[in-house]
Amino acid sequence: MAVRDRWGGAGETGGGRWPMRGTAGALALALLATGSAVARAQDKAEFAARRERVLKTLGEEQAVLILRGNAEADIAAHQSWRQSSDFYYLAGHDEAGAALVLNPTGRRVRDALFVPAKNPDKERWDGPRVGPGPEGAEATGFGNVLPISELDDLFPALVEDKKKFYLGGEPTKPKGPHPPEMDLFRRLREHWALIGSPKTVEIAPVGAVIHPLRLVKSPAEIAIYRRAVDITGRGLLEAMRSLEPGQNEGEAEAVIEYAFRRFGAVRCGFDTIVGSGPNSCVLHYVKNTRTMQAGEVVVLDVGAEHGYYTGDVTRTVPVSGTFSPAQREIYEIVYRAQEAAFAASRPGSTLSAVHGAARKVIEDAGFGKFFIHGTAHWIGLDVHDVGGHPFTKLAPGMIHSVEPGIYIPEGTKGVDPKYWGIGVRIEDDALVTEGGCENLSAAVPRTVEGIEALMRERGLGNLPCGEAPAKPAEPKGAGSPAGR
C-alpha cells in the first residue's frame, strides 16, 4: 500500500495577514422569512445538486468521500455550536454527530447521511432531531439516512475497489487531538492490513473536491449572502447613529449585535471589533471595554452570519461625529486606496492585483509601512473562505473583501504626532460580476460626508434604558483605560 499525500495548502485564502479572523457563527440554511415547504424543497435541491456534482467527479476517479460533521465537543465551550462549513456545504444538515458518504457505485449508500439513532428522552431536553429512515431522507433530501452506528460495518464495502479516498480533517498529517476523521483513516489502514492489500491508492482531503465549488457562489448562495451583508450593514448604520463620546466600546458592540439579531442573523460570523483611540491600531482588538472619547476614531469591523454565510464590513468613524483634519487626511487616503482596489476587481484579475492597486495609493501617499495586512480575502461560509489563492483568476460569482487600512500607533517615531493613534480601515464585500465587481455593502456610507451626516442622526443606543446604577468613583487620570 502506498499512500500518496496530496495535502498542500488547500484552502489558503488571499495570502498575507488579515485584520479579521474567522470564528464560529451559525444557523440552519435560510428558510429566510418564509420557512415554507417550498423554500425548504429548494434548499434541499441545491444541496443535492452539489452532492451530484461531487459524485460525478468521484465516479470519474473511482473514489469515495467520507466526511464527518462536527460533534458537540468539536466547538469550544464559550462558542455556540456550528456545523463544519464543508459538511454544511454538501449536507445542509446542522445537527451534531453526523457523517456523510458519497459513493458513486453504491446503491443503499450512494448519497447517504449517517445520524445518531432517535432518542426521545434526549430530545425532551435538547429538542427534536433528524433520525434515520425515510422521514430523515425526506427532511434532508439525502438518498438515504442511516444510523451512524452502521458506518463502521459498512466501511469495507465502501472502500472496496476504490482508488481514491476523500477524507475530512488531515488524515495523512495527524497533529494535535485526533479528529474523528483520523478514526476513518486508521480504519482504512486496518482494513488494508487485514486483507493484505497491495493496492496503490490515493488519500485526499475533502477540500480538494469541495473547495473549488465553494469558491464560486451559486445564485442561491449569492441571494443568501446579500442578506447577510444587508444585516451586517444595518448593525453598522445603527451603531454609527448611536455613537457619542463617553459611551463604552461594548455599547456599540451591543447595538450592532442587537441589530443583527433583530434583522435575522442568528449570530456573528466572527467576534465584533470595536476599537477606539489607540485600539483602532490593534487589528484583532475584541475586548471592547474602553470608554470612547471625543477626538478619537473608532474602527467597527463586524459580520452578521445569516444562513451560514457571514458578512465582513468595516467602518472607521469619528467618535464625536466629525473627523479632525488629520483623521480626514488619513481616511481619504484609505478611501482612495479602496476605490483603486474596487477598480482592479474584475474577471481575469487577481486578489494580488487588487491588493497591489490599494497598496500603490497608500505607498504613494507616504504611509506604506502603516498598511500591514492584505487587502482582500475570499468570503462565504467562512469569513476567510476557501478555494482560491492570491493568484486565482477572478470570475463572476466569487466574493471577496476589499479592506485597505493605515494604522499609526501612539508614539510612532518619525511621524507627525498629529497622526498618532489614528487607525483607519474601510472594508466592503465585493461580488465579482461579468463587467467588474459589485460592492454588496454600498448601503453603509463610507465617504467622510456620508458618515458625518449619518452620525448626526440618533439611534437605538441613544434611547433611555432605565436608571443607570450608581458609578463607583473613577481613579484620576483613568479616562481611557485600554481594555481590562
Least separation in angstroms between residue 401's CB and Mn ion is 4
Instruction: Say if residue 270 is exposed, middle or buried (CB neighbours under 10 Å; 0-12, 13-18, 19+).
Output: buried
Indicate the residue among 20 and 29 with the shorter CB distance to Mn ion: 20
Q: Give the residues lining the site for Mn ion (CB under 5 A).
A: 20, 312, 401
Least separation in angstroms between residue 480's CB and Mn ion is 27
Reported in sequence order, the residue ranges of 405-448 that DSSP labels E, i.e. its strands, are 405-408, 422-425, 428-432, 437-439
Indicate the residue among 20 and 102 with the shorter CB distance to Mn ion: 20
Please check whether residue 405 is in contact with residue 330, taking contact to mean a CB–CB distance below 8 angstroms.
Answer: no
Indicate the residue among 13 and 70 with the shorter CB distance to Mn ion: 13
Shortest CA distance to 23 belongs to which of 302, 382, 309, 283?
382
Tell me which DSSP letter residue 368 carries. Answer: G
Indicate the residue among 22 and 136 with the shorter CB distance to Mn ion: 22
Q: Which backbone phi and psi does 398 adopt, to 5 degrees?
A: -80, 145
Least separation in angstroms between residue 382's CB and Mn ion is 11
Least separation in angstroms between residue 232's CB and Mn ion is 11
Indicate the residue among 23 and 401 with the shorter CB distance to Mn ion: 401
Q: In the complex, which residue's CB is closest to Mn ion?
A: 20
What is the b/e burial string over 54-68, where b = at least 16 CB atoms within 10 angstroms of the residue's CB? bbebbeebebbbbbb
Least separation in angstroms between residue 403's CB and Mn ion is 5
Indicate the residue among 169 and 405 with the shorter CB distance to Mn ion: 405
| H, E, C per residue of 270-294 | CCCEEEEHHHHHCCCCCCCCCECCC
For 96, the grid coordinates are 451534531
Indicate the residue among 221 and 429 with the shorter CB distance to Mn ion: 429
Indicate the residue among 201 and 383 with the shorter CB distance to Mn ion: 383
Residue in this structure with the C-alpha cell 487485514, named with its chain if needed: 194
Count of all residues that appear for the chain in the document: 484
Shortest CA distance to 360 belongs to which of 328, 330, 338, 331?
338
Shortest CA distance to 319 belongs to which of 382, 244, 227?
244
CA–chain centroid gap for 469, Å, is: 37
Indicate the residue among 151 and 298 with the shorter CB distance to Mn ion: 298
CA–chain centroid gap for 402, Å, is: 15
Least separation in angstroms between residue 67's CB and Mn ion is 27
Least separation in angstroms between residue 461's CB and Mn ion is 24
Least separation in angstroms between residue 20's CB and Mn ion is 4
Indicate the residue among 54 and 228 with the shorter CB distance to Mn ion: 228
Residue in this structure with the C-alpha cell 500591514, named with its chain if needed: 372
Q: Which backbone phi and psi does 274 adopt, to 5 degrees?
A: -125, 95
- Helical (H) or strand (E) element with 113: strand 111-115
Please check whether residue 293 is in contact with residue 276, taking contact to mean a CB–CB distance below 8 angstroms.
Answer: yes
Indicate the residue among 181 and 312 with the shorter CB distance to Mn ion: 312
For 281, the grid coordinates are 491600531
Query: What is the C-alpha to C-alpha distance for residues 334 and 342, in angstroms, rounded to an integer?
Result: 12
Least separation in angstroms between residue 429's CB and Mn ion is 8
Least separation in angstroms between residue 352's CB and Mn ion is 16
Least separation in angstroms between residue 479's CB and Mn ion is 31
Query: What is the C-alpha to C-alpha distance for residues 343 and 435, in angstroms, rounded to an integer?
Result: 11
Query: What is the C-alpha to C-alpha distance for residues 316 and 351, in angstroms, rounded to an integer?
Result: 23
Query: What is the C-alpha to C-alpha distance for residues 109 and 115, in angstroms, rounded to an integer?
Result: 13
Least separation in angstroms between residue 78's CB and Mn ion is 22
Q: Which backbone phi and psi does 228 adopt, to 5 degrees?
A: -60, -40
Indicate the residue among 58 and 379 with the shorter CB distance to Mn ion: 379
Query: What is the C-alpha to C-alpha distance for residues 219 and 210, in angstroms, rounded to an integer?
Result: 17
